[in-house]
Every structure is written in structure tokens, then in C-alpha cells.
Amino acid sequence: MNWHSWFRWKDVKRFVNSLQGSLPADFLLVCRQWTQVILHNRRLWTTVLVDSWTIREQGPQAMLAKIKAHLQRSGNEPLDVVYAAIHDPSLPPLERETFGPGQLMVQKLQGLKVASKSSRLQQIGDLLSVLAGEDGQEMKRWRSCILAWSAESRWAECWWMSNFLTYPTPLLESLCFWNFTSGQQPIFPNALVLKRLVTTGYHVQVGAEVPLPCIESADISEGSSDGNHDRYDLSAVNLLRRVSGIRFLNILMVNGWRLSLIEGEEPLHFPNLVNLKLEGDVSILLCKLRAPRLSSFTLHIDSGAGHEELLGRLAQTDLPELSRLDLDLIKTDDPQWTLDEVELSLIGMLSTKGTLRTVIGTADLEEVVKRWKKKTASFLPRLVSLRVRDPLGSEVGDDWE
């Protein structure tokens, strides 16, 4: 269930295909022995997949039958629920249906004529009500849940869907909202053991407690699945405050925040955070970050504020336990840009991080660090490993001697 907030629809399709290839029903006809094993092994039926591609190929009734089979044959085992109502632009539209904006994506892929908004909501509600169970009986077994929603659906329909998600989920540990908004009321109000949260956008109200009590990791990005990115500004800050007790945090921001909306906010305190990954235009966040136990920091930034300003903010950020830094500064509008233009600011920032033992980055970063390490013996006194990341993300290099 390794799902990331920066997925796009092609990634979603690959993810769904990998799940489809391991569903137990596809192996029932291999032989009699396999059939007996599959039918009597409840854990094989604990992943419940609802996806637009299967609905299009086999129809909604076949999908309902599959849902019911998994719920019944899994017994009382915890469930992993994946609901992917995603429009695939690689598929041609059905000839008997003309698709207009705002129509529910599941109905588009089914090719069904829809008379009214209430009938659209009823059809999607049939699937969700079965997944939830009568009076939420099945939701009590949910261990993980992915709600992936098409960007073309109306937010009002998401709000209506969220009515099915207000039952207790005492076993829920992992939750993903991909292009989904929770509407006016909190959903999963009793997710007291929730450890992992993944979300695109920030208009999601999870749980009744502030902050969320047990979350250990959060994976957050802005923007929609189809590349049309929006700012959410203070909604993101509010969400970060709710997960302030986490140990692992990934943030991807494309458009960044306007300084005028965040400069009056209180600092963001993460007293337990040990691993932080920031990508995109997140320079504004650095001036609000307080993470005294942070030991591993990945910073891949195309800074709209300017890299010298960013490095200055990072120099002023107190990270007394930082031991690993993965740094990549780029300028998408200037492919010829190099670190030489900000070398002094870079060295000034690194000089404030004397606890660093590992530095990872591009080849020009390695060159700068080696040059200054030879020039100044007191520069990065604890450094033992200097590594270069290749274009595929692998790390090469030797330990520092």
C-alpha cells in the first residue's frame, strides 16, 4: 500500500494494475487444490479494490459482487480498502455517451445515462455503503484506506460521499486522500490508532481531536492529479499543526505560500520530528520550522524566493541534532544555473550545521564541499560521508577520509 501524494493518474493506473494482478479470484481456476486454499484463506481476501477501469470493463454489478465476496470471505480480518474513481484520458469515451463537465466519473466510465444529481449520488453511494457496511460494521475492520478521486468530480459530491465515512474505525492505521475533500464535517472521527496520513490539497478534516494523537508520518502535496496546481495557503499550516507530533514528514509544494499569509503565524513546532523531506518551493516554511530532534533532512528546492535568501533562512534554522543533509538547489527557468553563484551563502549555511556526518547532493555540491574542507580544517568537523546523487536517484561516493 505504498501510496504517495505526488502520484499522477498514470501512477494510479500502475498502482491499480499491480493490485488487480494479485486478487485471489483470478487464481481460483488454476486447479482444485488452489481453489480450496484460496477459498479457505481469509487473509487473501482482505484487499478490497474499487476502480474505474474494472467498472468500465465489467460493469457496476460485477464490481458490487466482488466487493461483497471480499467482505464475506475475509471473515473478521482487517481490511485494506482502495477506492480509485479516476478518469483515464488514454481511454476513448464510450460511443453511446456524451460526457459533460461535472458528471460523476464513475458514471462516465460506466457509460450510463444520468437523469439527475440525486441518481448520480445514489449510484456512488451504493458502492460506498457496501464498503462501509450496515451501520458501519465493515468500517470497524478497515486497516488502511485510499480514497483517490477524479479532479473532474464536483466537490459537492465529495462532501456527500463523506457522509459514509463518519463511522468508527478503531483499526485504521493508514489513510490517503488523493484529490478528495472531506466537506463540512470531520470524517473518520474515531481513528485513534491512525499512524500514516497522505493527502493532496489540505481541505480534509480527519478525526475530532486537535491535534491528531497517534500519527507518526505525513505525506502532503499541493495541487491536483492532472497537474493543475492550486494554493491552499493557511489550510496547509492548519493541517501541519494537527500533525505536530509526527516523526516523519514529506512535503511537496509547487506554487509555494505567499509570505504575507504566513509571516504572522506562530512557528510550526515538531518536537518529535526526525526525518523531513521538502520538495518544490518551500522556502517560506523554513522560517517557521522548529524541529530540535531532526536528524535527516532532504531539501530539493526550486526557490521562488531566491536561493541566497533560502540558504540564509536555513542557516538561521536551529537544527542541533542534524546529521544527514540531502541538498539539491535548482532553477527550472535557468538550466545553466550552478551552485557557484551562491557558493559563499552555501558555505555559510553549512558552517552552522557542524553536527553533519553525511552530505548528499549533486556533483557541484560535492566539489564545493571538498574544496572548502581542504581549505578550512574546522569546516564540517564531523563529516564522514560525502555522496553524489545520480539522475536516477542512486547515491555514489566514498566515505570522507
pLDDT at 345 over 80: yes
Q: Residue 23: which of 74, 57, 88 has the closest Cα?
A: 74
Q: How far apart are CA 27 and CA 41, in angstroms?
A: 13
CB within 8 A of 65, min separation 6: which ones? none
Q: How far apart are CA 220 and CA 197, in angstroms?
A: 8
- Higher-pLDDT residue of 241 and 151 is 241
Q: How far apart are CA 144 and CA 174, in angstroms?
A: 5
pLDDT at 11 over 90: no
- Higher-pLDDT residue of 12 and 97 is 12
- Higher-pLDDT residue of 236 and 400 is 236
HEC profile for 159-208?
A: HHHHHHHCCCCCCCCEEEEECCCCCCCCECCCCCCCCEEEEECCCCCECC
- Banded pLDDT at 325 (limits 50, 70, 90): very high
- Higher-pLDDT residue of 100 and 362 is 362
CB 187 within 8 A of CB 203: no
- Banded pLDDT at 124 (limits 50, 70, 90): low
CB within 8 A of 355, min separation 6: which ones? 319, 320, 321, 322, 323, 382
pTM of the model: 0.84
Helix then strand then coil, in percent of the chain rounded to 5, is: 35, 20, 45
pLDDT at 10 over 90: no
Q: pLDDT per residue over 272-287, tens digit each?
A: 999 999 988 777 778 7
Beta bridge partners of 326: 298, 360
pLDDT at 48 over 60: yes
Q: Which contacts (CB < 8 Å, 24+ apart) does range 138-141 have?
A: 138/71, 138/79, 139/165, 139/167, 139/168, 139/169, 140/167, 140/168, 140/169, 140/170, 140/171, 141/74, 141/76, 141/77, 141/78, 141/79, 141/171
Q: How far apart are CA 397 and CA 77, in angstroms?
A: 46
